[in-house]
A = this chain, B = another copy of it.
Amino acid sequence: MERVFNFSAGPSQLPLEVLEQAQQDLLCYPGAGCSVMEMSHRSGSFEEIIHNTEATLRRLMDIPEDYAVLFMQGGASLQFSAVAMNLAKQGQTTNYAITGQFAGKALEEGKRWTNAKAITSSKADTFSYIPKITPALIDPDAAYLHITGNNTIFGTCYNTLPDTGDVPLVADWSSAILGKQIDVKRHGIIYAGVQKNMGPAGMAVVIIRKDLLKREVDPIVPAMMRYKLMADNGSMYNTPPCFTIYMTGLVGQWVEKQGGIAAMEQRNAEKAGILYDTIEQSQLFHNPVAKEDRSIMNETFTLPTEEETKAFLKMAEGRGMINLKGHRSVGGCRASIYNGMPKEGIEALAQCMKDFENGLRK
């Protein structure tokens, strides 16, 4: 079987060059005498790998010196809890903007530990836009304001960041990190599951302003969730997910070779534009998202009937394009077009949409 165009929302298509590099070194990493999967995390070879991965992310995202970069297990979902338990005292007020399912899950986890308030939500409009966050909405004593930067399921994105004043902005950027420019300095914490745009599943990258590491953390909070402990131990308080850190480094180096994040963003915007244009010119396909809030990483679109949706997905699969089905909670279609998706994949999809609309069914 040949490799297909994989529009999965995550885990998702990785750059072929990255996979080829990993394949080449899988039995024996240069100079190490063993696979990255077999390396002691205390070995010189792995120390170099984790150092390079962090340094690459720092260069790519222009992460200032007063921010720590952590590699933690448990994906974004464990960060939903860790953010609350590290930044807020038990019962303290925290603020959440609700722009989709994962924002809602972050809120639910926040509620376990804090007085977590949803200060705004676009739920009534099926999350088809990003509600404006004005300073008046924010509790001045909130431990933080949490947003979901890019909403994978609904195809929306904070294309401009809210002004949160002295309240730290905490953002889940899982589905856009490394795919578009994100101004780190505007954030207290950025976290991201790596399985969408940075590597294989099994890790979150946490970028945290160092003054936030000084907040008092309740003794109840597990060691593995403590940001300061992770920072003090260079993300190696216990054995880290070594191979995932290595893969994330390879992806980062690949992004650098493509010209960095600015170049990736331009390319991703161009890719997204091809699909959005196709949808706009179509009488059959529809995208519900407010234009200014469109994501360049995930595009949702619907067809008039369930039957047509199925027929379209089948035709696309026949042409070697998989995982175009929308999230099981919303239905319809969705194309996730992260860094690893080449323009050829987008062109093939756009052609498939046009052909389908013109009555061709294979």
Contacts and interface: CB of A to CB of B under 8 A. Distances in A.
Contact of A3 (B28, B41, B75, B199): B28
Given A73-B75, A223-B109, A328-B42, A239 B28 contact: no
A221 interface: yes
A1 interface: yes
A121 interface: no
Q: Which of A3, A30, A105, A109 has the most chain B CB atoms closer than 10 A to its own CB? A: A3
A144 interface: no
A102 to B, nearest CB: 10
Copies, count:
2
Given A222-B109, A224-B77, A33 B4 contact: yes
Chain A contact-residue range equals: 35 or more
Nearest to A36: B200
A153 interface: no
Contacts of A323: 40, 43
A157 interface: no
A214 interface: no
Given A9-B40, A82-B222, 17 more contacts: A1-B30, A1-B31, A1-B33, A3-B28, A11-B39, A11-B40, A14-B37, A19-B37, A74-B78, A80-B222, A81-B223, A81-B225, A85-B222, A112-B219, A200-B243, A241-B244, A243-B244
Interface of A: 1-4, 6, 8-14, 16, 19-20, 22-23, 26-28, 30-35, 37-43, 73-78, 80-82, 85, 90, 105, 108-109, 112-113, 193, 195, 199-203, 219-225, 237-244, 247, 320, 322-323, 328, 340
